[in-house]
Every structure is written in structure tokens, then in C-alpha cells.
Structure 1
Amino acid sequence: MSDTASQQPGTTPDLITADLVIADLVAADKGDATRQLADTLVAAGRVTDRERFLADVAAREEQMATGIPGGIGLPHARSEAVTVPSLAVGRVVSGERVDFGAPDGPANLVFLIAAPTTGESDHLTILAALARKLVHASFRQSLLEAPDAASVASTVLREVYGR
């Protein structure tokens, strides 16, 4: 059962749940990593059209690389295919890396932010809150050392969003 299914009727699901985390991501490149994370959003009912969403992410990526220092890939987009603001996380398998164009090299953590087109402030709020935590090596390390997908999701919710 999806973690989003446990939400009370009429409430907004958490931004991230265990079913939106790939704890052992193996990806050939950033496009492959983004596709795999987008698939978790589709499976959870948070993205209605995978190809449209991926096209929106790719268009955003063309404007500027989304890799940030510290081994982070941060692809993101506002899209009509997104039903609710969401965050999918991929923890790249130990020893592997995925290049998102960061100045210090490839990523071992990938955060795919998906926001509805009507949620400009949602998109920016998610991005800003996450970026503030990602500058801390201890936060990144806690995600890399989390034992499973549920721990990754709960760490993000607690540390970034105070839940």
C-alpha cells in the first residue's frame, strides 16, 4: 500500500513518502535517473503524464544545469502533468555517480522536485527549503547512511519540513 494512500480524505499528501524514494538508484546518466524517479511519481498518482513531465524537466535542465556542490542533482519543473507538489529522491548506489553538471562533480543524491503549474510558490518553497539543508554535509550524510527508503523520506520530512 502506498504511503499516500494512508492520508486522510481531503488532506494534502506529504511532499515525500517512502514510495517516492529509490534507496539504491543505478542510472546510466541524468536522464535515466530522472526517468526512474519520475516513474515513482507516476506510480504514486502524483504525475499523470510521464513524458510531458520529463519534457518539462528537460526544458528546465536546458536553461541551467541542476547539479549543486556536495554531490547533489536537483532536477525540477513545474508541469501540468503534476497533481500535487512532490519530491522523489534517489540515492545512487555506492561507488556510482550521476553527472548533473555540478562544479564539484557528479551526484550521489538526486532530488526530483515536481510542482503543478498552478503552484509557483510551492515550487520555490520546496526548492529553497531543500537547498538550505543540502548545504550541510551532516544532512547529506544522514541521507546516504539511512537504512531504507522510509528512513530517507522521514529524514527529509523532519529535517527540511519540520514534520
Structure 2
Amino acid sequence: MTDLTAPELVLVDLQATDRVDATRQLAQTLADAGRVTDLEQFLADVAAREQRMATGIPGGVGLPHARSAAVTVPSLAIGRVLDGNGIDWGAPDGPADLVFLVAVPTTGEADHLTILTALARKLVHVSFREALLGAPDAEAVAATVLEQVHGR
């Protein structure tokens, strides 16, 4: 079984001009890891989801997500924005310093909801967000998410 995330899916210093750029960079990590077979199709699916409703949530978090035929296994790419400005993800409390790109195969509706629910439960805790923002490297970010969100 493939883990939900891995160090190669973590951008510890994401520098993006906007949410489209950030999503593309994170999606590229999924494509590079063989978890997304068609980058443009996946990005179109994420954009379609974002058009229905912004996926910024309180606490400085962007949570773009999509089910897509271009996704091979449920995956989570993570970006940290360390420049102090964050990226506008449409959240009522301001820009995002943490971005979680959830990618699930089209047939994975249950996986999609499970991942989003588990992430949301942890992201309400300041201590969890601070642990991710303060983690020394991609390995530590991935390990924290796998342990805290995915129970591994």
C-alpha cells in the first residue's frame, strides 16, 4: 500500500504567485512521483472544484482537492509558505501558510471524504499547524502528517 504522502510530495518553502501557481507546483510533485498521469487534466479537475467553492479554511490553510481520472492512488501534496505573506485561498481569516493538495482517483469517493475529514480534524488544532510550519524538513512534515492524520 502506498502511503498518502511522502517527503518528495512536500515543498517546505513553497513560493507561488497565487493559488493557481501553488496548485500547479504541488500537482507537479504528484506527477513526478507517478501519482498523477495527466497533469493538465488533474489541474483542470482541481480548478473546476475550486470554482464551485473556495477551499481556504480558517487557520491559514488552503485545501484544494479533486477526484480525477488522472490520479493513480490517493495522495496528499503539502506546501509551506514561509515568506510571511501566504497565498490567498479564499478563507475568511486571510491567506494560507499551509497548502494541502488532496488527489484521489475518480472511483475513490470514500477515500476522498476520509482524507478531507481526517485533515480537517487535525487542522483545527493550532499545535498541529505549528508543528508542520516548524518542522525542519520535508521528512518531518511527511512523518507528522502520516502519524497525526493517517495513523501510521
TM-score calculated relative to the size of structure 1: 0.92
Query: 1:45-81 CA distances to partner (integer Å, 9 max, x unpaired)?
Result: 0000000000000000000000000000000000000
* Bigger CA radius of gyration: 1
Percent of aligned positions with the same letter in both sequences?
72
Q: Deviations 1:78-102 (Å, cap 9, x if unpaired)?
A: 0000000000000012313100000
Q: Report matched runs for 1:36-115 at 5 Å.
A: 36-115=25-104
CA distance in 2, matches of 1:150, 1:118: 29
Distance in 2 separating the partners of 1:96 and 1:25: 12
For residue 149 of structure 2, give the secondary structure of its aligned residue in structure 1: helix
**CA contact 1:26–1:96 (8 Å) conserved in 2:** no
Number of aligned residue pairs: 152
Distance 1:155 1:71 in 2: 18
* 2:141 is the counterpart of 1:141: no
CA RMSD between the two structures: 0.5
Gap runs ≥5 in structure 1: 1-11
Q: For residue 13 of structure 2, give the secondary structure of its aligned residue in structure 1.
A: strand
Where in structure 2 are there 5+ consecutive unaligned residues? none
Paired position in structure 2 for 1:127: 116
Contact 2:4 2:150 in 1 (8 A): no
Q: Residue 5 of structure 2 aligns to which amino acid in structure 1?
A: I
